[in-house]
Amino acid sequence: MAAKKNGPVIALGAVLAAGLAAPLVTGSPLGFYLEVLIGGLMAGVLYSLVALGFVLIFKASGVFNFAQGAMVLFAALALARLAEWLPAWIGIPAGFPALTLAFVLAAGIMVGLAWVIERIVLRPLVAQDPVALLMATLGVTFFLDGFGQTIWGSDIYKIDLGISKDPTMILESMFQGGILVSKEDLIAAVIAAGLVILLALFFQKTATGRALRAVADDHQAAQSIGIPLNRIWVIVWAVAGFVALVAGMVWGAKLGVQFSLAQLALKALPVVILGGFTSIPGAIIGGLIIGVGEKMAEVFLGPPLVKMWDLAGGGIENWFAYVLALLFLMVRPEGLFGEKHIDRV
Amino acid sequence: MSSMPPESADTFPRLLLHHAKVRGDRPAIREKDLGIWQTWTWSQVAAEVRALACGLAEQGVRRGDRVAIIGANRPFVTWTTAAAQSLGAIPVGLYQDAIASELLYIFQTAEIRHAVVEDQEQVDKVLEIGQEAALLKHIYYDDPRGLRHYTQPELMSIEKLKEAGRAFDAKNPGFYEAEVAKGRPEDPAAMFTTSGTTGNPKGVVHTHGALIDRARVACEMERLTDAEEVLAYLPPAWIGQNIFSYAQALVAGFCVNCPEAAGTVTADMREIGPTYYFAPPRVYENLLTSVTIRMEDASSIKRRMFKYFMGVAERVGGRLLDGKPVSPGERLLYWLGDLFVYGPLRNALGMSRVRVSYTAGEAIGPDLFRFYRSLGINLKQLYGSTETAVFVCVQPDGQVSADTVGPPVAGVELRIADNGELLIKSPGLLKEYYKNPAATAEVLTNDGWYHSGDAGIIDHDGHLRIIDRAKDVGRLANGAMFAPKYIENKLKFFPFIKEAVALGDRREMVCAMINIEMEAVGNWAEKRGIVYSGYVDLASQAAVYDLIRECVEKVNADLAQEEKLADSQIRRFLILHKELDADDGELTRTSKVRRGFIGEKYAVLVDALYGGRAEQYIETQVKFEDGRTGKVSATLEIMDAKTFAPARKAA
Amino acid sequence: MFYRENGQFKSSYREDQQILGIRQDRWFIFGLIAFAFLVVPFVASDYMFRAILIPFLIVSLAAIGLNLLVGYCGQISLGHAAFMAIGAYAAYNLVVRFPQLNFLLVLVLAGLIAAGVGILFGLPSLQIKGLYLGVATLAAQFFIDWVFARVKWFTNYSPSGSVSTAPIELFGYKFDSPVERYVLVLAVVIVFALMAKNLVRGHIGRSWMAMRDMDVAAEVIGIRPMYAKLSAFAVSAFYAGVAGALWGFVHLGSWEPAAFSINFSLNLLFMIIIGGMGSILGSFIGAAFIVLLPITLNQVLPPLGALVGMNFGTAMASHLEFMIFGALIIFFLIVEPLGIARLWAIGKEKLRLWPFPH
Amino acid sequence: MRQRKIGEVILDVRNISLSFGGVKALQGISFDVREHEVRAIIGPNGAGKSSMLNCINGVYHPQEGEIVFRGEVRRDMDTHHAAESGIGRTFQNLALFKGMSVLDNIMTGRNLRMKTGILAQALHLGPARAEELREREFVEHVIDFLEIQAYRKTPVGRLPYGLQKRVDLGRALAAQPQVLLLDEPMAGMNLEEKQDMCRFVLDINDEFGTTIVLIEHDMGVVMDISDRVVVLDYGKKIGDGTPDEVRNDPEVIKAYLGVSH
């Protein structure tokens, strides 16, 4: 295979950077600009959380888990409803104690659920075409969407982490008007960072984690040195279930728990394309890029477009991530941090 | 259209021209080739034959010359046969799998100068013979594959032959018509080689008149029309195939279909759905075996349904076919059975459209016979041989049974000689054995009776019943009658037994050597979890021996019922370690056991059987398909079988 | 069981290659078509036409389109409803801007426009496969959704963003009542299904299947991947476009962009998974399944729930529908990846072999 | 007996080097193939045989060297051009189209010659139908030649391995190639199947005059049927000549025969 040309990648990067800088050049106030940037980063953190689940499973088993979004919804529903029901059931005080217990229970449920999915759906499909696996996870998505709403209910629920949603003004001294930042968002970022660190530790320090990495590198080799693939896959699915719970909690707290959560999770797809299917840092950075890009495009690119073509409103963020991912695919299919594959005949 | 051709069409070439004129656009022959049924109409066939005849004439074939034809059922076989006949030459059909020495003998005695063969394999064989049979000067081949680089001057493709023929025809207008006009019904039309259980093959010469007469009589009897379809799948060198797929086709004007390859006959039969069908009992038996085996794998509901309706069919089917009274309730059941079982089964067998089907050559098992008839397939028996142009006796509709072969057909007289041998007088008798007046005189006496060599009786209905070959009917040491084939046939009616050889002439008891049917026994063994590594291993398994012993004992019980044969019960038997094979000389080309040869070849086994030994080591040379030879050896167990007291004769 | 094939031999390649080679199959299909044209119009209720038959026929067409791409050519598309949207809006604009155009011509033009867009979004397939391509088609879905929601020109500046159509008129005849619309759709669908069958049994169909089964070997044998893939995208999008136009004009009458959302796309995908990948017949079966299941659930569940003393509302039915779809997808992928059409084919083979099991 | 005319050089491989990442698969390989001959490339596993074939028909693009086919000099091949100009091939690991019947698989071999457009195909118009029937007839000759009539409509996946190999050969043959590249045509076959395959290879060479380049590691088979043999080892050419010359070449004996057989 001829060496991949880096030209288009650099060009694309330059265009993105230019796009990022453009609003400043055209005279948007710096404070506002930073506010948008930080908002984008926050959304990006959420995308990253979902994308993490994708990457974990893909890395270990080559399955593109379309159902990660549904798992997020399911986890968020479980958490929200358990936190609501538990006080009535066992008299535990509502609020933080109930939430904690609900989180533990939901974690158990998610791990169990992930285990069941792996055993019932993915195990029989081992060594199938990736597209078939993708479709199977689509089936899981539908099943979970229906199942989750059947047992947990289908209204909009709240997860109250007890954090004020009021925005805080920071850096007032530096900019005129300062920057509005929600405390909740900050906490979310911290949780996400914590989770990433936790996962990194898990992968680096535990035997299971090392086995996981071995499996990700080479299935056959891992199997030949005695790593039980089936058990690894179950663990990975369980971890992904837990990650989904964290993502669901953070996202649910921010936006409320509702059906659209599952759809929003679709956004994580372009993130992994961008970051590379097999890279955890890629998922984080990809998430941030998509989050920021989307917000920037919506805020700074949207209005001129609407004006220019007389559009019925903006909404660029609906497709921006995908089109960006598509462009990226054309120039660098393996993503920013993914591994290259050479097809041999 | 059921009208038979006029009497004036009294040779095969004239029949061909008649059909080309009367039904020129109807299909005469089809061949599955390149995936579809390539079709030739009667007028196209006439043109092909004309070109070939002219080509052969141009190459030097003259009236009375013998032309060898070797090939599978392909149109060229039919066409060159007719072409040779047009010139007054005698086509000599030869078996494709005939070994070189057999061929050489025929080529030499018949002084064959021209041979038409199918492909490279046959070309190689004939070229080799040609070295010795110095007369052979012209070889025409149908399939040029692999022959591109052959440079022998004798070789010519049939395509080229036809081209030459067309050129010749153009230069000599009227030649073909004149040649056809010269032919007379009493001219020899074809020569067939008899398999001959011993010695060299004999060439049976039949006239146009004899073949056409027999074909016509049978066509009229069964009301065959030009709408029939037949599948030509048996060796074309055999007279039966010639009668059913050549003579009768040319008399009635129906269409002959040639399968794509030997391996696709079943599929091709399903596609064509012949209306007129002939098969030796062996083929019916194999079909039934495969039905049984395939049904065994069916779900239990289906199996029960199958069994139930086959029971209904057994009660009702034969009676319906014979036009006997059947109650409305049974009619309804049979109708249901037809919907769910018989109809689909006939379809699967390719027999949905069969109006008349024959079996002959050997005795057919009563169960087997009844099975097909109960399905609504009009299976009937006939009796005949190469020397009698097949049709001697045929069971008419409504007078069908498993153990007779029916009354004589029109034109035939029968007589039983004092020694039990059947004598025949018929317009279809052979003209002579080619260049063998001694042999001719032996079978064809001056008073016009043909000595069939079969032992038979004529029952009170006037139906003929064949017991055995006259010369094979022997006596046990105590003087009791011993009809080995009768016993062997009874054994072979079991699906597990493929072949059997009964011994006992001039001995104190009857013993048998048995060949198991690999497929059926193998299936049976797998069902019981018996592991085996191959034929030899399977044949020597104790369980298999027990299975076969049960069969033998059932035959014994049967034999005990018949007063004259009660002494012929099988006392001891063994299972052979190899399949009897025509390549090893154990069977004839028509797959009949050569008892004498086997007796000599396996003398150690015979001695062991009669010597009371419990087992015997044997080593046998075998010929593999690719011509190499090898050895198989085994220690065979010999087993005693239970015998039964003779049934008391009713007072 | 009902097959009697003796005597049905083929003496030309033309006979051998006809679509329904067995006489009994021919009778069955012709009987079915005759029934659909001659009996159904007189016996079915308006509800039947509006809620079941017309949508079934139209989504069948869309499913055929998707099946050509996914089932035959092996290229995934998660955004096929977007091509339907293209067809629907293209037809709308053609009718609004050129009212004198024959509707059949409009259908074809709408299909062609969708095909053009299909080729555009098919371009990534030359570089990427599988999951990656799935994401690319999602991009098409979201982008096209957005375009029709935001660019006013496409909706002819309709203030609400939704568009509505007048009844179809063809050769001076108005197809207004449900029966008339049904017959029109039926005719269109039969013709297009036949064309799809013709395509897949010809050299173009073989080049698609070759790409699906073993792309390297296909290239080595001389099949151009670009031509094979893009033609599959084009034809597939064409079918989706025609189906979209019919969906808009015949089924909905008036619609907004949400009518062709990602959920519709996924439903189409489910149809071909359940119905049968790589089977025209399967597209119909899958469409019937997906159209009928929710209706059946809505009819059957409440009385069933009442029986066990539970109250199944419509929400419940919709959740159950999700679950059943999901479970079925998984079931078919695991047990019979080629869907009901494959089961049908096996059943047919069993009937041909009856009473034998194999 | 086989009496054939070996013609001029039809394919000339010059100084081909190919590497994957840092692994050198082929190093400066040159050899020629004459028209109508049977040319074998042998060597132990990993010698670069398959890579060589893949360069010839454009699946791989060598970093160095050139390929001259029928007088046309190319820096490297592309697969389509190779197919179009008459290079056919079979695959070592079956690369049949699993979802298709035997007939359809072989029909794809005719795709290069089938030109009717989508609309004509969809409507099954006269020219499209005529083209389809014409090519079907051609393919039937291939089926007949390879003696697989009984499996015509069977999905290839259901056939035993040896027959699948035959279908693979049929698919390549259907394109009427001038040069046929056979990648281990007898791998994994039993003796009888090998003999059949040998017969087909020789028949193809005989009947159609097709030049054959084949890879094998079964030395016996190769020596029997080929006119000239190239020996590769670790990506380098270590021998070239008639079977007898190669058999007696000390370096070949050392590298190949001595080690693995």
Who has greater pLDDT, B299 or A308?
A: B299
Longest Cα separation, chain C: 66
Question: Nearest CA of chain C to the CA of D58: how many Å?
Answer: 8
Question: Nearest CA of chain B to the CA of C205: how many Å?
Answer: 21
Structurally, chain A folds into a number of domains equal to 1
Which C residues in the span 60-79 are in contact with A, Cβ-Cβ below 8 Å? 74, 76
Question: How far apart are alpha carbons A187 and A193 in whole angstroms?
Answer: 10
Question: Nearest CA of chain C to the CA of D84: how many Å?
Answer: 6
Give the pLDDT band of residue A345 (cuts 50, 70, 90). very low
Residue A298 lies in a domain: no
Who has greater pLDDT, A8 or D74?
A: D74
ipTM over 0.85: no
Contact C207 D111 (CB under 8 A): yes
Give the pLDDT band of residue A160 (cuts 50, 70, 90). confident
Question: Nearest CA of chain A to the CA of C31: how many Å?
Answer: 36
Question: What is the reported pLDDT for A175?
Answer: 63
Name, in order, each residue with C-beta under 8 angstroms of A114's C-beta and a sequence gap of 6 or more. A71, A234, A237, A238, A240, A241
Question: How far apart are alpha carbons D102 and B615 in whole angstroms?
Answer: 51
Contacts of D88 in chain C (CB under 8 A): 221
Contact C199 D97 (CB under 8 A): no
Model confidence pLDDT, tens digit, residues D151-178? 999 999 999 998 999 999 999 999 999 9
Question: Nearest CA of chain C to the CA of B273: how many Å?
Answer: 4
**Contact D4/B at CB under 8 A:** yes
Contacts of B625 in chain D (CB under 8 A): none
Question: Nearest CA of chain A to the CA of D20: how many Å?
Answer: 7
Listed range (A47-56, A163-172, A186-195) with the worst mean pLDDT: A163-172
Residue in chain B closest to C11 (alpha carbons) equals B37
Q: Find where tokens 């086709």 sit.
A: B249
Domain ranges of chain C: 46-353
Question: What is the reported pLDDT for A177?
Answer: 61
Give the pLDDT band of residue D189 (cuts 50, 70, 90). confident
What angle is formed at CA D126 by the lines to CA D120 and CA D130, rounded to 5 degrees?
105
Question: What is the reported pLDDT for A63?
Answer: 83
Q: Are B423 and B449 in contact (CB under 8 A)?
A: yes
Contact D100 C196 (CB under 8 A): no
Give the pLDDT band of residue A340 (cuts 50, 70, 90). low
Subunits with 3+ Cβ pairs within 8 Å of A are C, D
Question: Nearest CA of chain C to the CA of B543: how many Å?
Answer: 28
From the list D20, D59, D61, which residue is nearest A345 (CB)?
A: D59
Question: Nearest CA of chain A to the CA of C63: how many Å?
Answer: 16
Question: How far apart are alpha carbons B141 and B115 in whole angstroms?
Answer: 9
pLDDT at A1 over 70: no
Contact C322 A143 (CB under 8 A): yes
- Is the domain C46-353 a CATH 1.10.3470 member? yes
Residue A262 lies in a domain: yes
Contacts of D95 in chain A (CB under 8 A): 345
Tell the burial category of B404 from Cβ atoms under 10 Å away from its Cβ (0-12, 13-18, 19+): buried
Q: Taken in order B415, B416, B417, B418, is the CA torsion positive or negative?
A: negative
Question: What is the reported pLDDT for B650?
Answer: 41
What angle is formed at CA C100 by the lines to CA C95 and CA C104, rounded to 5 degrees?
65
pLDDT at D231 over 70: yes
Contacts of A3 in chain D (CB under 8 A): none
**pLDDT mean over A53-63:** 83
Give the pLDDT band of residue A171 (cuts 50, 70, 90). low
Selection from A268-277, B489-498, C53-62, D225-234 with the highest mean pLDDT:
C53-62
Give the pLDDT band of residue B196 (cuts 50, 70, 90). low
Contact D150 B148 (CB under 8 A): no
Of all residues in chain B, the percent with pLDDT exceeding 70 is 97
Q: Are A270 and A324 in contact (CB under 8 A)?
A: yes
Give the bridge partners for D236, in sequence order: D233
Q: With an 8 Å CB cutoff and a minimum of 3 pairs, decide whether chains A and B touch.
A: no
Contact D141 B34 (CB under 8 A): yes
Question: How far apart are alpha carbons B176 and B170 in whole angstroms?
Answer: 11
3-state secondary structure string, chain D?
CCCCCCCCEEEEEEEEEEEECCEEEEEEEEEEEECCCEEEEECCCCCCHHHHHHHHCCCCCCCEEEEEECCEEECCCCHHHHHHCCEEECCCCCCCCCCCEHHHHHHHCCHHHCCCCHHHHHHCCHHHHHHHHHHHHHHHHHHHHHCCHHHCCCEHHHCCHHHHHHHHHHHHHHCCCCEEEEECCCCCCCHHHHHHHHHHHHHHHHHHCCEEEEEECCHHHHHHHCCEEEEEECCEEEEEECHHHHHHCHHHHHHHHHHHC
Selection from A142-156, A164-178, B337-351 with the highest mean pLDDT:
B337-351
Whether D160 and D108 share a structural domain: yes
Question: How far apart are alpha carbons B293 and B304 in whole angstroms?
Answer: 15
Question: What is the reported pLDDT for B651?
Answer: 37
What one-character DSSP code corresponds to residue B192?
A: E
Question: What is the reported pLDDT for D260?
Answer: 46
Question: What is the reported pLDDT for A253?
Answer: 83
Model confidence pLDDT, tens digit, residues B70-115? 999 999 999 999 999 999 999 999 999 888 888 899 999 999 999 9
**pLDDT mean over B257-278:** 92
Contacts of A128 in chain D (CB under 8 A): none
Residue D92 lies in a domain: no
Q: Find where tokens 């805020």 sit.
A: A299
Who has greater pLDDT, D38 or A134?
A: D38
Give the pLDDT band of residue D4 (cuts 50, 70, 90). low
Residue in chain D closest to B264 (alpha carbons) equals D150
**pLDDT mean over D80-86:** 91
Which C residues in the span 312-351 are in contact with A, Cβ-Cβ below 8 Å? 315-316, 318-330, 333-334, 337
Residue in chain C closest to A124 (alpha carbons) equals C334
Contact A146 C319 (CB under 8 A): yes
Contact C204 D110 (CB under 8 A): no
Contact B149 D2 (CB under 8 A): yes
Q: Are B498 and B516 in contact (CB under 8 A)?
A: yes
The residue among D134, D149, D195, D203 with the most chain B CBs within 10 A of its CB, best to mutate, is D149
Question: Nearest CA of chain C to the CA of D232: how many Å?
Answer: 24
**Contact D153/B at CB under 8 A:** no
Q: Are D100 and C218 in contact (CB under 8 A)?
A: no
**pLDDT mean over B576-599:** 84
Model confidence pLDDT, tens digit, residues C129-153? 777 888 888 888 999 998 998 888 8
The residue type found at C190 is: I
pLDDT at A208 over 90: no
CATH number, domain of D199, equals 3.40.50.300
Mapping DSSP to helix (H, G, I), strand (E, B) and coil, where does residue B343 land? helix
Give the pLDDT band of residue A343 (cuts 50, 70, 90). very low
- Strand duo B510-516 + B570-575: pairing: parallel
Contact B148 D207 (CB under 8 A): yes
Contact A131 C321 (CB under 8 A): no
**pLDDT mean over A91-112:** 88
Is residue C355 reached through a cis peptide bond, with omega within 30 degrees of 0 on the bond before it? yes
pLDDT at A59 over 60: yes
Give the pLDDT band of residue D2 (cuts 50, 70, 90). low
Give the bridge partners for B629, in sequence order: B623
Among residues D156, D175, D194, which one ends one of the domains? Answer: D175
Residue in chain A closest to D92 (alpha carbons) equals A345
Name, in order, each residue with C-beta under 8 angstroms of B441's C-beta and a sequence gap of 6 or more. none
The residue among A319, A324, A339, A345 with the most chain C CBs within 10 A of its CB, best to mutate, is A319
Contacts of D60 in chain A (CB under 8 A): 345
Residue D91 lies in a domain: no
- Strand duo C254-255 + C163-164: pairing: antiparallel
Question: What is the reported pLDDT for B468?
Answer: 81
Who has greater pLDDT, A216 or D149?
A: D149
Give the pLDDT band of residue C44 (cuts 50, 70, 90). very high
Give the pLDDT band of residue B205 (cuts 50, 70, 90). very high
Residue A152 lies in a domain: yes
**Contact A330/C at CB under 8 A:** yes
Model confidence pLDDT, tens digit, residues B495-506? 899 999 999 888
pLDDT mean across residues, chain B: 90
The residue among C69, C135, C153 with the most chain A CBs within 10 A of its CB, best to mutate, is C135
Contact D145 B145 (CB under 8 A): yes
**Contact D109/C at CB under 8 A:** yes
From the list A130, A315, A330, which residue is nearest C130 (CB)?
A: A130
Whether D194 and D232 share a structural domain: yes
Contacts of D141 in chain B (CB under 8 A): 34
pLDDT at C303 over 90: no
Residues belonging to chain A with any Cβ–Cβ distance to chain D shorter than 8 Å: 1-2, 342, 345
**Residue-number span of the structural domain to which A88 is assigned:** 43-266
Question: Nearest CA of chain D to the CA of B121: how many Å?
Answer: 14
Whether D134 and D64 share a structural domain: no
Give the bridge partners for D31, in sequence order: D13
Question: What is the reported pLDDT for B519?
Answer: 86
From the list A138, A144, A277, which residue is nearest C329 (CB)?
A: A138
Residue in chain C closest to A134 (alpha carbons) equals C131
**Contact C227/B at CB under 8 A:** no
**Contact A143/C at CB under 8 A:** yes
**Residue-number span of the structural domain to which D77 is assigned:** 1-86+176-261
Question: What is the reported pLDDT for A276?
Answer: 81
Question: How far apart are alpha carbons B230 and B248 in whole angstroms?
Answer: 10
Whether D255 and D139 share a structural domain: no
Structurally, chain D folds into a number of domains equal to 2
Contacts of C354 in chain B (CB under 8 A): 344, 348
Q: What are phi and psi of B637, to 5 degrees?
A: -85, 145
Among residues D152, D175, D198, which one ends one of the domains? Answer: D175
Question: What is the reported pLDDT for B398?
Answer: 87
Question: What is the reported pLDDT for A342?
Answer: 39
Question: What is the reported pLDDT for B1?
Answer: 45
Selection from B346-360, B547-561, C294-308 with the highest mean pLDDT:
B346-360
Question: How far apart are alpha carbons B34 and D152 in whole angstroms?
Answer: 10
Nearest Cα to Cα of residue C253 among C37, C118, C110, C95: C95
pLDDT at C256 over 70: yes
From the list C127, C319, C334, which residue is nearest A149 (CB)?
A: C319
Among residues D140, D175, D210, which one ends one of the domains? Answer: D175
Q: With an 8 Å CB cutoff and a minimum of 3 pairs, decide whether chains D and A touch.
A: yes
Question: What is the reported pLDDT for D257?
Answer: 57
Whether D194 and D147 share a structural domain: no
Count Cα atoms within 13 angstroms, Cβ side, for D251.
10
**pLDDT mean over B431-439:** 92
What domains appear along chain B, each with residue ranges and CATH number?
15-189+250-259 (3.40.50.12780), 385-471 (2.30.38.10), 473-640 (3.30.300.30)
